[in-house]
Structure 1
């Protein structure tokens, strides 16, 4: 089979930048706005990996690209297509998709595979497969995932380019062209407004306006609540407000706070709250310490938990955020407002028991044991009223609107109800710095909130029905493109074969060992989905809660704390799943598997520090387990790529051993199923094959911080191409040992690359590794210079050391000659060139470095190679700041080269520019 681009090289800097942008909040409409799902994969990563999995690496065609230069040029052309696919707001750039699809079709002879993610989750991979013109197949156990993928890749493309069917749009837009999902969006706007008007009539008595002057009333946007428990001090007995912070507006001026009002006649009594301009007091809840606002008695969270479990936790309305037209104002609550909220009638509540997972589910520890406990009565009334109105509307439209289309509109409306529930529950928080209501799922766990928020769902601002619907249809508008075709979505266990699912390009973002209990978290939405969607999608809502027993996560909680059983379930399940997938794959294409890290995720199970920390990553139990599962299922790992989706990835990646957001494994079916080699033979193959792999990675401008992780792929490719590697004692080599040997070999190769450098640079490398930039005796420098084929006076003339009074010192970048000019320097050395390029980059940015690059010409390129070696040295020494300098130079290299090409004189020719 032809080797694919993804098995050789990727423009990781571009993919990482685009993925970081994709993860940022506030970037406008995005498919993730349709419905929340935990740990979504960044769309640019999924898009780039799929494309690179389908196009051949030029080394597969030596007849077309016989030389390394021609192969590199062709890789650059394919990289350019990937970079186009990674541009921001990709939905506005159909030409990028068209060019990529044309390339895929050409390379696949128009015989495209089906893109399949057996752990579809939030649906990033099926979505990008669909947008790249292929049939997408999404399967998952979790019904929330099934609903999301069904709406996005199965039903939505079916109604692409359809004109709206609502009467208002039909009259106004007759003859217009409706592209992609534009018609559906118009219908959602129209019918969503109908639901709003009906909800307003039914609910307005429960959301009364606030009198803001003698003749004017305004709508409340958000209500701020406090939980309360009785003070344990018998002399006080006050209803203690539990408050993290009294701030309502903490950044903009004037700042606004609220303050409890205590009546001290005959004991202490909380009688209400007032709004104040300044309040130096901290909240009453500070970590585990609870302070009574009335008597200053200090107690602990354990007391609060006990009171909650005994049913003695209350709640008080503390403040109201009011719409003043342009901006927000803050008012204290009235008794009438509080009474209305606390005594609202309800006719249904999600009366299902919540998981009490000790790591992820905090509310049960405070007595909130059922999902209904996560909502106030008024929140329940608002959500159920809107749900009932949607059901009524659906019944009215039956027979008037085509059934599948009606079900899709209804599904999207109920997605908006789910969004309301996420923000409009009694564990959502107020963020004073942004004056905004935060959702429950701001992290992948159920946190407890002592002070919480409630939205006016029939308003027009913040988290109301209209805004929730707006987020849904804005996201839908940019989800599909003109290349999208309907896919297939099935609720199934990945371990079970399905003859309908074949000819696959498998790319999957599976559960990450024990990082996220997807099923427990998604029960929050599923209890509403079951209630709301069962009449229309009975096959997906058969279970009371989301399936958990079969879910492939190493959840110790489900095995009574037994780590070994949890690991066995995870590893055994993945072996079965990968074996099933292997039989259904299109053998032309490799499988890609994402594994995500948590920054704090460590193993610590090995006393061998080198083995526990290999190939530039912390070898966690989850990572090691999934590697073993892949190899034992009969796959060979051909590449590994570190992807960084952190918004600060360029900064965080600089420090030594910074973890990637994801590792992507590229796998092929192992062809030789019975072969065995020895440890010695394995080492020989590593030393023979890894140097060329590293050279290609370096030429693709891979960041030094990512080099070891990416080189893990070719190294594991050798290890996993055999049934087993035998140790000297006859035992089978494990993954941990194999990774450790790869790491050692990478280090040796980088050291061997020093032969490409001039003698003075080789001396500087050796000196730097031993002494850094400290002063050392002249004799040490002279001995080392003889060994490297140079002399101390040559090093002085080269301008990289200072020598005097019996000492020698390697000059730091700040000590280099500020007037250095490569055009007049009689002898430039690679060390000097590299340091001056970094200095220009730090002081004058990429343009400053580009000016120097222009003067240096072709001899500048070897500075990039030196940067890899220097980064490796700094990483071992723990010199994070210095490592950052070399990593930054490589990351900026493409831009430096591009900038240098644009530097011209007044006559339009290339010029020599002064610094």
Structure 2
């Protein structure tokens, strides 16, 4: 407790009080902050442990969930929301402090944004005057931010809350919190104090937060950071190691930081000294290699020549470095020259490599030869569906291709650090050169070292001896290269470096930290590391293995030298945890060993990443003699036990997990389940799972968590649904579908109308609503599921039996029907601004979809998820037919002018509607057809023209305000006016 306060609390005073997150949650602001955290990429707090685990949920989202689950509501929802946002630093004062910490505004910008009558009081020739107080700066920042149009515009200028000094950022918040909750005796001056006091009020002690699918550790880490006790477990030992590292390295207390940093430096220094002693990375002039570039080489079946394979021969744009193939007829192969300072023309030519569109392509004596890579490999498919190829499968004791293998590996370039700049880490000068005979001799020396030591290294666990088990992801290196054991994925140079590092780490006093460092190092030291010329400021660099979740094999790859060692360090203690972390356990999710008041989980589901396969890449290296406390875990992926895929086994595993968590939480405990859904059918399975586990849904929120990247082109969704659940009240309750549907409609309407009322209140005071349409839609789902999951039997069938029984293909269950009913009820209430409820009720599903999304687009909404969700709610058969862009973060409808005549025929979903007829009419008007001619056509073609005329007018007025193209808005205004003023005698 705070040394100068005395808090009088009534333990368990909040025992039966709902959590604030059941009714209030600033979903839009959390979404923006979560995306901002994602966009920080390597600057995210936990990526320092390793970027290879992609499933970490944003820490800001975890913080919001934990706080929302502990805070109680009062009879003033707007004030509750204000306190919640202040604790998240989303309020105006928090934004001002975050912006000031980021130095968001220059003196000139401040004077541009706001009137300052005496600027000389604040600014000198070089910015702020020295005597300007912090209070004065904050006042100017508050005024400047108030001129910006939205929360997003303000927050985009700010540091993330976790990047700002916490004592300073939250100094003004605690009086506000204590006043708001004075009736409870709350008197907090920090997050740990607030968390402990709320825990005493709810549970009688500091709250415990658990996660049985801990993955990269973001949930237990953030819970512990704000003051909760944390429990974590995961079946996967790599996940457990990352979670342990989050709590004990990233979250290390101040007195441990120096020791951890020193331990890392000693490991790096010893490894570097050993590699230097071997003499395999320095040339005769004292230059040191930074990277080695290798390519595959294959024999052309037409000419018999050996051809180096690479999609591009550009090495470094900044240095104008390229590789040039020079025919050597005597050896029937190509010599490879490395040219620096190449002309623009030569650089452009080098962009086209010898691998093009899946073919080996090269020129010889003026003739172009093209052979599919599949032909080189000898790919085949048998009548029974079996596939294979002629690639030889490597043996356990091998580490390089045999001379007669289809694919050879060839060193073609070395990036050197100039001798005189080796010690100048920040200003090293490098150059590229083709390997000399001396370099090739050092290559042979490396191979000799591996040949002499591989068996011993494998026996000692310094190098893997583990076979690659076939699987969805792990089949790839077997199929594409013939690699059968994990050490085959590593070049001999990498084997020497990694074996040396592994040996040194074992002797390190902080061997657990060394294990984390080693796993991070593995991600950058395999033959799966692509050479990217554009990286490193145009000097070129190697991409890490798991830039996506696959084992990508490349035709050319980069091998880092030991000069990179320091880059694998982990910065300890950058965000100390305040709670008392419990042991991290490597167990199945159903094998819970600790009671927790709040379980927050991000479980696997139908389209999850196959971590049980891809982490075998790391397990193979760490499974023998892992350091304490990692030696307490089973170092195997235990694929058979992993909850994965879909279907009956998936549901059974999930039910067991959530039943166990429910049994290990008090009656007033709560669970939060996050999932990023690609298949809306997963909704039904998940609800059945929680139903069978004895849990009742009490709230649902939709958070945009992901960001766009080139890897995410296509149908990837960008959001996370968070479901809040409590134990179902005891007793038997039987429901029947015909009675459930009216109850669902009533509860959905009540929930959405309540939220829309709060939206109106907040908008009136602050100019921005709390929730978007997508949030309201999710709340509608939650309301329906709250009704549904209160029952133990549906139509006479026990819910557990229902949840676990196999599904027939195409079966529509009662859950599916009720979720759809909820979506339709919610959507019917979300009438776009400018349309009347009466008109909205008369529209078809596709018409509602287009007009609803058009309205959302005016607010800047561009998430493909929104379109997917509303298409489902409106029962649109194929929403893609009306989409102009399907990129995840740039989705939009087709513009009126983009619809082709074929899109608007009677045979299409939109063409058969009155809205489709309006689109045709607007296109005609834009092509100079007279308004009266168009009105006459509408009258003759529409049997219900007189009845539909008011509806047509209202839609045209709507389009005149909402259509993105100015010419369409004008045309809609003209046509709408003509229809409105039409006299029936005309």
Output the TM-score relative to the length of structure 2.
0.65
Matches within 5 A, 1:422-461: 422-434=523-535, 435-457=540-562, 459=563
Counterparts in 2 of 1:319 and 1:684: CA distance versus 1, 3 Å: same
Question: Structure 1 CA distance, aligned partners of 2:716 and 2:616?
Answer: 34
Given candidates 417, 436, 443, the residue that maps to 1:341 is 443
Question: Structure 1 CA distance, aligned partners of 2:959 and 2:790?
Answer: 48
The equivalent residue for 2:64 is: 48
CA displacement at 1:129 relative to structure 2: 0.9
Question: Structure 1 CA distance, aligned partners of 2:235 and 2:266?
Answer: 32
Given candidates 612, 637, 658, the residue that maps to 2:697 is 637
Which digits, 9 at most, give the CA deviation of each residue in 1:98-142, with x for residues without a partner?
654444444433533211001111111000111011111011111
User: The residue matched to 1:202 in structure 2 has which SS?
Assistant: helix
The equivalent residue for 2:643 is: 552
The equivalent residue for 2:602 is: 509
**Does 1:647 find its partner at 2:707?**
yes
Question: Structure 2 CA distance, aligned partners of 1:46 and 1:319?
Answer: 46
The equivalent residue for 2:580 is: 485
Which digits, 9 at most, give the CA deviation of each residue in 1:451-473, with x for residues without a partner?
1110011x2xxxx111112xx12
Given candidates 42, 47, 53, the residue that maps to 1:37 is 53
Kept in 2, the 8 Å contact 1:126–1:138? The answer is yes
Counterparts in 2 of 1:741 and 1:26: CA distance versus 1, 3 Å: closer
Counterparts in 2 of 1:759 and 1:155: CA distance versus 1, 3 Å: closer
Which digits, 9 at most, give the CA deviation of each residue in 1:454-496, with x for residues without a partner?
0011x2xxxx111112xx12xx231324x24333211211223
Question: Structure 2 CA distance, aligned partners of 1:814 and 1:770?
Answer: 20
The equivalent residue for 2:356 is: 286
The equivalent residue for 2:487 is: 372
Moved more, 118-127 or 737-746: 737-746
Question: Structure 1 CA distance, aligned partners of 2:475 and 2:958?
Answer: 59
Which digits, 9 at most, give the CA deviation of each residue in 1:606-657, with x for residues without a partner?
xxxxxxxxxxxx414x4432332112222112222222222249xx99x9x9
Kept in 1, the 8 Å contact 2:744–2:784? The answer is yes
Counterparts in 2 of 1:153 and 1:811: CA distance versus 1, 3 Å: closer
Counterparts in 2 of 1:436 and 1:703: CA distance versus 1, 3 Å: farther
The equivalent residue for 1:851 is: none
CA displacement at 1:706 relative to structure 2: 4.4
**Does 1:206 find its partner at 2:311?**
no
Matches within 5 A, 1:42-441: 42-56=58-72, 58=73, 61=74, 65=75, 70-84=76-90, 88=160, 90-95=162-167, 99-109=190-200, 111-153=205-247, 160-162=253-255, 181-188=256-263, 190-192=265-267, 194-203=269-278, 205-209=279-283, 217-233=286-302, 236-250=303-317, 252=318, 255-265=320-330, 268-275=332-339, 277=342, 278-279=346-347, 280-281=349-350, 282-292=352-362, 294=364, 296-305=368-377, 306=389, 308-309=391-392, 312=405, 313-323=407-417, 325=427, 328-344=430-446, 345-346=449-450, 347=453, 348=457, 349-359=463-473, 361-365=475-479, 366-392=481-507, 394=508, 406=509, 409-434=510-535, 435-441=540-546
Question: Structure 2 CA distance, aligned partners of 1:356 and 1:293?
Answer: 38
Kept in 1, the 8 Å contact 2:831–2:837? The answer is no
Counterparts in 2 of 1:686 and 1:751: CA distance versus 1, 3 Å: farther
Given candidates 2, 17, 25, the residue that maps to 2:32 is 17
CA displacement at 1:810 relative to structure 2: 9.7
Question: Structure 2 CA distance, aligned partners of 1:579 and 1:268?
Answer: 67
CA displacement at 1:438 relative to structure 2: 0.7
Provide the aligned C-alpha RMSD in A: 4.1
Counterparts in 2 of 1:497 and 1:123: CA distance versus 1, 3 Å: closer
Counterparts in 2 of 1:533 and 1:752: CA distance versus 1, 3 Å: closer
User: The residue matched to 2:88 in structure 1 has which SS?
Assistant: helix
Question: Structure 2 CA distance, aligned partners of 1:670 and 1:288?
Answer: 56
Counterparts in 2 of 1:352 and 1:5: CA distance versus 1, 3 Å: same
User: The residue matched to 2:337 in structure 1 has which SS?
Assistant: strand
Question: Structure 1 CA distance, aligned partners of 2:649 and 2:262?
Answer: 46
Question: Structure 1 CA distance, aligned partners of 2:272 and 2:376?
Answer: 41
CA displacement at 1:370 relative to structure 2: 0.6
The equivalent residue for 1:523 is: 616
Counterparts in 2 of 1:258 and 1:26: CA distance versus 1, 3 Å: farther
Kept in 2, the 8 Å contact 1:316–1:338? The answer is no
CA displacement at 1:759 relative to structure 2: 11
Kept in 2, the 8 Å contact 1:672–1:722? The answer is no
Counterparts in 2 of 1:505 and 1:19: CA distance versus 1, 3 Å: same
The equivalent residue for 2:125 is: none
Moved more, 181-190 or 328-337: 181-190
Which digits, 9 at most, give the CA deviation of each residue in 1:861-902, with x for residues without a partner?
xxxxxxxxxxxxxxxxxxxxxxxxxxxxxxxxxxxxxxxxxx
Question: Structure 2 CA distance, aligned partners of 1:537 and 1:193?
Answer: 22
Kept in 2, the 8 Å contact 1:351–1:370? The answer is yes
Kept in 2, the 8 Å contact 1:210–1:220? The answer is no
Moved more, 29-38 or 586-595: 29-38
**Does 1:495 find its partner at 2:559?**
no
Given candidates 462, 466, 483, the residue that maps to 2:566 is 466
The equivalent residue for 2:126 is: none
Question: Structure 2 CA distance, aligned partners of 1:523 and 1:290?
Answer: 32
Counterparts in 2 of 1:591 and 1:342: CA distance versus 1, 3 Å: farther
Kept in 2, the 8 Å contact 1:146–1:489? The answer is yes
Counterparts in 2 of 1:248 and 1:627: CA distance versus 1, 3 Å: farther
Question: Structure 1 CA distance, aligned partners of 2:362 and 2:951?
Answer: 75
Given candidates 700, 721, 744, the residue that maps to 1:663 is 721
Which digits, 9 at most, give the CA deviation of each residue in 1:659-690, with x for residues without a partner?
34322221111115521223232222222222
The equivalent residue for 1:868 is: none
Counterparts in 2 of 1:145 and 1:747: CA distance versus 1, 3 Å: closer
Kept in 2, the 8 Å contact 1:361–1:445? The answer is no
Kept in 2, the 8 Å contact 1:342–1:378? The answer is no
**Does 1:771 find its partner at 2:918?**
yes
User: The residue matched to 2:534 in structure 1 has which SS?
Assistant: coil
Matches within 5 A, 1:708-747: 708-726=777-795, 733-747=813-827
Counterparts in 2 of 1:239 and 1:307: CA distance versus 1, 3 Å: farther
Counterparts in 2 of 1:810 and 1:644: CA distance versus 1, 3 Å: closer
Matches within 5 A, 1:735-814: 735-751=815-831, 771=918, 774=922, 777=935, 814=966
Structure 2 unaligned regions, length at least 5? 1-15, 95-154, 171-188, 378-388, 394-401, 419-426, 458-462, 760-768, 803-812, 852-913, 923-930, 971-975, 978-986
CA displacement at 1:506 relative to structure 2: 0.4
CA displacement at 1:297 relative to structure 2: 3.1
The equivalent residue for 1:865 is: none
Output the TM-score relative to the length of structure 1.
0.69
User: The residue matched to 1:206 in structure 2 has which SS?
Assistant: coil
